A = this chain, B = another copy of it.
Amino acid sequence: MSILPEPPYYAVIFTTVHSDNNTGYAQTAEQMEQLAATQPGYLGLESASNGSEGITISYWQDEDSIRSWKANADHKSAQQAGQNKWYKSYITRVAKVERQYSFGLED
């Protein structure tokens, strides 16, 4: 939660509505979080869900690192499985973080 690089950087906002089929979802989601963290330009990730609705935000240094992650073969396979099985619908938004404020963080 205390991911706070200096702007500008990028946020990929992934909001999802899950289907009734969660077979294999948790394992793949965990694998994708771990894989994302090894990619060039990765800055951090925040995730939360309310029942069938979820929000995952990943943070990236620049547009190139987002494009590379989107094209990663294992990630593409997971995206396909997400469309086939786990998600009823989703929206992916690519947004440039221009400024930020924080309260109560140590640093």
Q: Which residues of A contact B (CB under 8 A)?
A: 1-4, 7, 11, 13, 15, 17, 46-50, 53-55, 57, 83, 87-105
Instruction: Name the distance in Å between A68's Cβ and chain B's nearest Cβ.
Output: 16
Copies of this chain assembled into the complex: 2
Q: When the two chains form their complex, are residues A94 and B94 in contact, meaning their CB atoms are under 8 A apart?
A: no
Q: Given contacts A13-B11, A48-B49, A57-B13, is CB(A1)–CB(B95) below 8 Å?
A: no
Q: Given contacts A13-B11, A46-B55, A57-B13, is CB(A98)–CB(B94) below 8 Å?
A: yes
Q: When the two chains form their complex, are residues B15 and A1 in contact, meaning their CB atoms are under 8 A apart?
A: yes
Q: Given contacts A17-B1, A53-B1, is CB(A105)–CB(B93) below 8 Å?
A: no
Q: Which residues of B contact A48 (CB under 8 A)?
A: 48-50, 53-55
